[in-house]
Structures are given as structure tokens and as C-alpha cells.
Amino acid sequence: MEYLRYYDEIVSRRQSCRDFADTVVDAASVEEIKAYNEVVPKLLPEISTELHFFGGDVADFLGSSVGYNGFTVKAPNYLALYSEEAPHYLENAGFIAQGLTLKLTQLGFDACWLTVNDAEAAKGALGIDTDKTLAVFIAFGHGNKAKKDVRLDIKSPSNVTMVSCEKKVAPKISMQDLLSYKVYGEPVNMELLYTELEDALLSIAVAQSFFNRQPYRVIVDDDIVSLIGLDDELTTTEDQLLNYGIAMFNFYAVLDSTRAGVKMWSFDEAGRDLKLPENAHYIAKIRI
């Protein structure tokens, strides 16, 4: 499999872009992304997926089926990941698409995940003949460097506007807030984490998520890392599941690039009492 130096070269450089130049991505780069899709790690390889690419004109047909409150980021290129519907298919789609997004970053392109509000309507607008469901839709291309940075000012799902800013503001969760040791809420002694594990955990802390809410936590044990989901009123169930896939890919990819024989995440039961509060839910675990 192809290895990328995920944390230093990609995860730490990954920024969401919402202002793209009118420069179409060259065909050779698209072919490279397609090739990487064949080897990218998959959370659940048995779930069938399809990757398709589109030009910028499809944005005119999507309407409110994709984006925030009817706002669709205009870009010269889009990619869509379709998936068969099966248990955990959205987590798997988020996992795969995060790998593709990081490949885009490695190739020097910018990207922005767009919320799929109505998968059936969006699928119809895109016109792909497939029995699979639209799971992920991503705008990509060259970020417009000629203008000030722009971001979405998101007060709620129904109140979204574009604003300019002098610097990118990407709130990320602190490691102290993200991590617990053995049970929920128990502080982690960061000095006890070996470098490869700390980098993998940092990659979750910097992972993009819907509205930058990062509604998840991580419990570190001596042999297992558990991903914990938190209730969040602004995040839909679909986006929560995609968030989990993104976070799981970052952790797995960083750890796998530095160690041999890393096991894949598992949706098996936790197998231990994590002492979770009512608003927290066990999602998955990975052996370390």
C-alpha cells in the first residue's frame, strides 16, 4: 500500500477551503486520485463504494440538496463517493473520503466537504446510474489566493453566511479535553504516551468535523483506544457518522505510517466499563 507521511506533511496542513479559483484540476491529477482510491485503507472493505468526479457546472443543479442552508461552495471540481447501504456505511465512507481528501492535499489541492442534505435529490441531480447511495460530496481545486481568506459564519444550520477574515480560524479541541485515561473524564498523563501514539491522537484533535464541533472524545487504555461520540444538537446523525470516519482515518493512517501490523478499527463491543455519561456513546475501538 502507498504510505503518506500523514501527520507532518498532510494532517497538519489540511485546511478547509471555501473560495476556489476557476482553474480546472488537470486530468493526470484526477487519475492519480482515482488510483489512490484503489489502495486507500478502508474501514470495512466488504462495503462496496463508487467514486465519481464532476465539473463545476453541477453546482447549478444541486439546489439545497448539498451544502449549508442552500449554500453550495462553488468549485471547478467535485468528487462524490457513493456507497451501498450497510451497517456503518457512513463511517466507512467518511474514512475513505478522508484518505482521498488528504491525497488531494498532498497533490497541492484544496478541498471542502459539503453536507448532503438530501441524498436522493442530489443523486438525481448528479445523474449517476447506480444502485448506491450518495454518502460524501467534496468540492476541490486550487484555493483562490488572490482574495482574503473566507469562511462560513455558522450561527445555526439555518443561519449561514460567508465572511472575510485576515486569518483562518479553525477551532480545534485541546488534547486535555479530547482524551481520557481508561474511563471517561479521567485525565491522561501526556508524558506517558509514546511519540507515535501521541501523533496519532493529535491527528484526531486536528481532524475537521461538521461546523468544527468535534462532538467526540477518546479514551486511551493500555491496550485499546476507544472513540466516544457525544450528543450534539447542531450535527445530524449522518454528519456525526462521517465525523467518526474522518477521525478514525486520521488516527489509523498516522499510526500505520510509523508502525507495522496496525489493526483496523473495530465496531465490536467495548468489552469494558468506560463509565460514560448519558450524553456519550461508545463508537469503536482500535488495538494499540
Closest to 203 in 3D by CA, of 233, 177, 230, 172: 172
**pLDDT number for residue 131:** 97
Q: pLDDT at position 217, please? A: 97
- The confidence score (pLDDT) of residue 206 equals 87
Report helix, strand or coil for 36: helix
Query: How much is the pLDDT for 249?
Result: 95
pLDDT the model gives residue 113: 92
| DSSP letter (8 states) at residue 11 | I
- Sequence ranges of the domains in the chain: 17-165, 175-287
Which cell is 53 given? Answer: 468526479
pLDDT in tens, the chain (288 residues): 444 566 655 566 666 666 788 888 999 999 999 999 999 999 999 999 999 999 999 999 998 899 876 678 889 999 999 999 999 999 999 999 999 999 998 898 999 999 999 999 999 999 999 999 999 999 999 888 655 454 444 444 444 444 444 433 343 688 999 999 999 999 999 988 888 899 899 899 988 887 778 899 999 999 999 999 999 988 889 999 999 999 999 999 999 988 888 999 999 999 999 999 999 999 999 999
Q: What does the alpha-carbon distance between residue 158 and residue 70 come to, in Å, rounded to a whole number?
A: 9
- The yes-or-no answer to whether 17-165 and 175-287 have a common fold is yes
DSSP string across 182-251: SSTTPPP-GGGS-HHHHHHHHHHHT---GGG---EEEEE-SSEEEEEEE--TTS-HHHHHHHHHHHHHHH
Fold of 175-287: NADH Oxidase (3.40.109)
Measured between alpha carbons, how far is 89 from 119 in angstroms, rounded to an integer? 14
Please give the pLDDT value at position 9: 52
pLDDT of residue 97: 97
* CATH architecture assignment, domain 17-165: 3-Layer(aba) Sandwich (3.40)
Name the 3-class secondary structure at 172: coil
